Amino acid sequence: MATLTLDRPQATTPRPERDARNRRSLVGKVVLYAVLIAAAAVIMLPFFWMVTSSLKSNNQVFTVPIQWFPDPVVWSNYVDIWSKSDMTTWLKNTLILSVTVTFLQVFTGSFAAYGFSKMRFRGRDVLFLAYIGTIAVPWQAYMIPQFILMSRFGLSNTLWAIIALQAFGAFGVFLMKQYYDSIPEELSEAARIDGLSEYSIWRRIVLPLSGPAVATLTLLTFVNTWNDYLGPLIYLRDRDLWTIQIGLKTFVSQYNAEYALIMTGSVLSVLPIAIIFMLGQRYFVQGIATAGLKG
Amino acid sequence: MATTAVPAPTRAPRQRPPGSRLKLRNSLIGWTFILPNFIGFAVLTLVPVLILFYLAFTSWNVFGAAEWVGLENFEKLLGDRTFHTALRNTGYYALMHIPLTLAVSLGLAMLLNTKLRGVAFFRTVAFFPYITSIVAIAVVWNMLFSPESGPVNQILMALGIDNPPGWTTSTTWAMPAVALVSTWRDMGYYMLLFLAGLQAIPGELYEAARVDGANKLQRFWNVTIPSLRPTTFFVTVMLTIASFKIFDLILVMTDGGPGTSTLVLSQYIYRKGFEEQQFGYASAVAIVLFAICITVTVVQFLVNKRRNA
């Protein structure tokens, strides 16, 4: 965040020019705000439409001309959706998966990152190269052998499949290593001299110092797992294992004319993510700035 | 496979120089840190990638065992019309998505690279579509694009376009519709990368250009664009790879249709592999996708290196 809010110091202007400049910059400001507001409106329009449609009765969703605000407001969609779909099961499964995956990814990722960043041993760099190398390999290319392996292990059609799929990503290791590299070597060196074991250095010194990175990884992993559609599509066949994404998709094809209800389901699937994003948005930005630019 | 999953810890050298015991201990401790993640990573990523290269040369399908057939799958690919369509469609999508997203996200980053009050809010808005799920987005946009009474076409008609396109119901407009939606979704992410790049440009460069009498446009072409080159390079690589592996948005929005007008490579892999269970053949298609992504990365890397030299 620090880099993103940091701005160039403005050039100092000589006095006589100042008035003209000020007036011009005021006009510029107004124009800029107008452009920004228009752009924001266009970007958010689909979400606005989604929310208002979820509050309409079904035959009001597609009207000519467009009815921008629901009249009357139909709250009952938000009651009906629970009985017309397995929303409760879907949300429960998705929550279980997201929490487990996030915990595992953060733990194994930050643990491995310590090995890569703070320890020196043979084979370390080759190994890290293997991690980096596979980031460029598209998952779509190896999803079939992965599925075959997973089926051999008997994990297919269980929630474990999704956990295994998401929890050991190279991304987490990469992100955490990037952050650990910025923690001064002297800290762990001093702790080593004081007789702390490597595990204690990780737990008592490095981990507590990497709060922002852990927060970033937590949020990104949670959101990714919550939004994942392809993993559940391939691995979860039983209805009671479905996640919100796969459930919503099936609901859409099943009730393809129930526009208002479909929008209600969409709102419910996005809402938790929207809340998490609002609460922790600076960590998202930070994560992208660190993991993105170094890559 | 278990042997590849757990590589043996490095062996201690025969003649022990002083401190070698410590080194061995260090290696062991280092490995314990990496192992919990590495076991999962190796079994679920590294090994499947290796198996992929074996599978592509076999005729494994639902009826029989994996039989080595050499290059047969790849020869079959050369004459496979549907594969050609998928390849062409993927390229077409990339050709629309890459320049559009580059332009829009750079534009947004330039707009938002000020210290106006409330600018953080606008950044949040631009980034928001990126974190929402593909399914919800695809469903909403499909409705917005509805040809008869969807809002998009109603707005177009109000603007004086009498024959607005049929979007996802039309073979010509389905792919542009998908490209538009994915640009809308991804631009916030690439905008953040560009913003970080813009803020790393030293202010003195602009100051010097201004002293030399460069106007705004000249400053943009001669200061901003060259200074942004590392960022642009990185963004282009990411965008290209992402474009070639486009999958879930297509799956939910159009499912490859109408006809095969939006069938893309990843989806063809999925169809051959999971729907028709021709694992060998699907793996050959997967190798093509893999090769494209690697080639793009390497070529762009080399070009960038030469320009910098």
Q: How many CB pairs under 8 A join A and B?
A: 290
Residue count of chain B, please give it.
309
Tell if the CB–CB gap between B139 and A252 is shorter than 8 Å: yes
Reference B253, options A83, A219, A46, A66; nearest CA is A46
Which numeric CATH code is attached to B75-308?
Answer: 1.10.3720.10
Q: For A157-194, what is each residue's pLDDT tens digit? A: 899 999 988 888 888 888 888 888 888 888 888 888 88
Tell if the CB–CB gap between A4 and B199 is shorter than 8 Å: yes
Where do runs of H (alpha helix) occur along A85-169? 87-118, 124-135, 139-152, 159-167
Separation of first and last alpha carbons in chain A: 18
Q: What is the pLDDT, as a whole number, of residue A101?
A: 94
For residue A61, the chain B residues in CB contact (below 8 A) are 143
The shortest C-alpha distance from A78 to chain B (Å) reads 16
Joined together, the tokens standing for residue B10 give: 């490095």
Joined together, the tokens standing for residue A78 give: 């938000």
Residue type, A16: P
Confidence of residue A7 (pLDDT cuts 50, 70, 90): very low
| Three-state SS letters, chain B | CHHHHCCCCCCCCCCCCCCHHHHHHHHHHHHHHHHHHHHHHHHHHHHHHHHHHHHCCECCCCCCCCCECCCHHHHHHHCCHHHHHHHHHHHHHHHHHHHHHHHHHHHHHHHHCCCCCCHHHHHHHHHHHHHCCHHHHHHHHHHHCCCCCCHHHHHHHHCCCCCCCCHHHCCCCHHHHHHHHHHHHHHHHHHHHHHHHHHCCCHHHHHHHHHCCCCHHHHHHHHHHHHCHHHHHHHHHHHHHHHHCCCHHHHHHCCCCCCCCCCCHHHHHHHHHHHCCCHHHHHHHHHHHHHHHHHHHHHHHHHHHHHHC
Sketch the domain layout of chain B as residue ranges: 2-55, 75-308
Which among B46, B274, B297 has the least Cβ separation from residue A234?
B274
Q: For A59-71, what is each residue's pLDDT tens digit? A: 888 877 778 888 7
The shortest C-alpha distance from A27 to chain B (Å) reads 13
pLDDT lower than 50: segments of chain B: 1-13
Q: What is the ipTM of this complex?
A: 0.82
Residue A90 has pLDDT above 90, yes or no: yes
Residue in chain A closest to B201 (alpha carbons) equals A8
Q: For A101-158, what is each residue's pLDDT tens digit? A: 999 999 999 989 888 888 888 888 888 888 877 777 888 888 988 998 898 889 888 9
For residue A62, the SS3 value is coil
Tell if the CB–CB gap between B150 and A46 is shorter than 8 Å: no
Q: Which helix (H) or strand (E) holds A222?
A: helix A211-227
Instruction: Establish if A164 touches chain B: CB-CB under 8 angstroms.
Output: yes
Q: What is the pLDDT, as a whole number, of residue B298?
A: 84
Q: What is the pLDDT, as a whole number, of residue B141?
A: 92
Q: Which residues contact A129 (CB under 8 A, 6 or more apart)?
A: none
Residue ranges and CATH numbers for the domains of chain A are 14-78 (no CATH), 79-294 (1.10.3720.10)
Contact B249, B138 (CB under 8 A): yes
Q: Could you give the C-alpha distances from B254 to A78, A235, A248, B135, B167, in angstroms and in order?
A: 27, 22, 16, 12, 10
Other Cβ atoms less than 10 A from the Cβ of B308: the count is 9
Q: What is the pLDDT, as a whole number, of residue A8?
A: 43
Q: Which residues pair with A104 in a beta bridge?
A: none
Contact A36, B123 (CB under 8 A): no
Q: What are phi and psi of A55, to 5 degrees?
A: -105, 15
Tell if the CB–CB gap between B134 and A202 is shorter than 8 Å: no
The shortest C-alpha distance from A17 to chain B (Å) reads 15
Instruction: Establish if A47 touches chain B: CB-CB under 8 angstroms.
Output: yes
Contact A247, A115 (CB under 8 A): no
For residue B43, the chain A residues in CB contact (below 8 A) are 149
Q: How far apart are CA A171 and CA A137, in angstroms?
A: 13
Q: What does the buried/exposed string (b/e) look like for A85-123 if buried means 16 or more CB atoms within 10 Å of the residue's CB?
A: bbbebbbebbbebbebbbebbbebbbbbbbbbbbbebbe
Mean pLDDT of the region A26-44: 88
Residue type, B178: V
Tell if the CB–CB gap between B29 and A198 is shorter than 8 Å: yes
Residue type, B135: V
CA-CA-CA-CA dihedral for A229, A232, A233, A235, to nearest 10: 150
Instruction: Establish if A257 touches chain B: CB-CB under 8 angstroms.
Output: no
| Best residue in A81, A142, A148, A219 for a mutation probing chain B (most B CBs within 10 Å) | A142
Q: What are phi and psi of A71, to 5 degrees?
A: -150, 110
Q: Between residues 72 and 101 of chain B, which touch chain A (CB distance below 8 Å)?
A: none
Q: How far apart are CA B287 and CA B156, in angstroms?
A: 42
Other Cβ atoms less than 10 A from the Cβ of A19: the count is 9
Q: Which residues contact A200 (CB under 8 A, 6 or more apart)?
A: A191
Contact A69, A235 (CB under 8 A): no
Tell if the CB–CB gap between A33 and B116 is shorter than 8 Å: yes
Which among A65, A168, A233 has the least Cβ separation from residue B40?
A168
Q: Which residues pair with B68 in a beta bridge?
A: B58
For residue A230, the chain B residues in CB contact (below 8 A) are 247-248, 251
Q: Of residues A6 and A244, which shows the higher confidence score?
A: A244
Q: How far apart are CA B263 and CA A280, in angstroms?
A: 37
What's A288's DSSP letter?
I
Residue in chain A closest to B104 (alpha carbons) equals A39
Tell if the CB–CB gap between B193 and A33 is shorter than 8 Å: no
Joined together, the tokens standing for residue A152 give: 């051999």
For residue A248, the chain B residues in CB contact (below 8 A) are 135-136, 139
Q: What is the pLDDT, as a whole number, of residue B77?
A: 85
Q: What is the pLDDT, as a whole number, of residue B86?
A: 92
Residue in chain B closest to A13 (alpha carbons) equals B207
Q: Which residues pair with B84 in a beta bridge?
A: none
The shortest C-alpha distance from B289 to chain A (Å) reads 7
Instruction: Establish if B199 touches chain A: CB-CB under 8 angstroms.
Output: yes
Residue count of chain A, please give it.
295
Q: Of residues A91 and B61, which shows the higher confidence score?
A: A91
